[in-house]
């Protein structure tokens, strides 16, 4: 099934696998910033968009923030896109349950993210691949992935992020 919103559309989750090959990951090798960086250079921001899912242990070659309130990662896609799906590859070693209460928003500037893609409540499993389908296409140049917490420090660790758009 296809959901339409004017001239923008997304496929529902049941239809997605048939069309995934026609989708393009527009986040690959784009600039990423994080709210903080744990143990540089081993957990640098660029690891989350390096197009490598097979990582080595201890979350090395995965992007990893420090423990803090509201950790986030921000991807600059360099152009404005209508985003329907965001895929998050969780850490592969242990502590996978840290990925929880995640929101994904988009904006046309690096300071405002009014377009809501979706949320992942979690908690995730270690090595889980989380697919977030936007309820409607979210338009933006910048994608912000945020752990929504205000009471306890959390770290955001992602081994890969894919921002998928449907190619015409």
For range 64-69, the mean pLDDT:
95
How many structural domains compose the chain? Answer: 1
pLDDT at residue 130 is higher than 80: yes
Instruction: Render pLDDT for 7-30 as a digit per residue (tens, 0 to 9).
Output: 555 765 555 555 556 789 999 999
The pLDDT of residue 152? 86
The pLDDT of residue 150? 75
The boundaries of the domain holding residue 19 are 2-166
Q: In the chain, which residue ranges form alpha helices assigned H by DSSP? A: 16-19
Instruction: Render pLDDT for 83-108 as a digit per residue (tens, 0 to 9).
Output: 999 999 998 888 899 999 999 999 99
Per DSSP (E only), the strands in the chain are: 2-5, 8-11, 23-25, 31-34, 63-64, 72-90, 102-107, 115-120, 129-147, 157-166
What's the length of the chain? 168
Q: Is 89 exposed, middle or buried (0-12, 13-18, 19+ CB in 10 A)?
A: buried
For range 53-61, the mean pLDDT:
66
**CA–CA distance, 57 with 43 (Å, rounded to integer):** 12
pLDDT at residue 2 is higher than 50: no
The pLDDT of residue 45? 93
CATH number of domain containing 59: 2.60.120.260
The pLDDT of residue 88? 97
């Amino acid at each position: 099934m296809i959901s339409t919103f004017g001239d923008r559309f997304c496929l529902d989750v049941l239809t997605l696998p048939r069309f995934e090959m026609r989708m393009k990951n527009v986040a690959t090798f784009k600039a990423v910033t994080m709210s903080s960086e744990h143990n540089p250079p081993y957990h640098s921001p660029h690891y989350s968009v390096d197009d490598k899912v097979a990582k080595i242990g201890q979350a090395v070659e995965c992007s990893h923030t420090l423990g803090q309130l509201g950790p986030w990662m921000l991807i600059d896609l360099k152009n404005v896109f209508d985003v329907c799906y965001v895929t998050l590859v969780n850490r592969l070693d242990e502590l996978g349950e840290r990925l929880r209460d995640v929101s994904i928003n988009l904006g046309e500037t690096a300071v405002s993210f009014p377009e809501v893609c979706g949320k992942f409540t979690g908690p995730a499993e270690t090595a889980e691949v989380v697919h977030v389908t936007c309820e409607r296409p979210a338009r933006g140049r910048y994608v912000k992935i945020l752990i929504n917490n205000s009471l306890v420090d959390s770290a955001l660790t992602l081994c890969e992020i894919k921002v998928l758009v449907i190619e015409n």
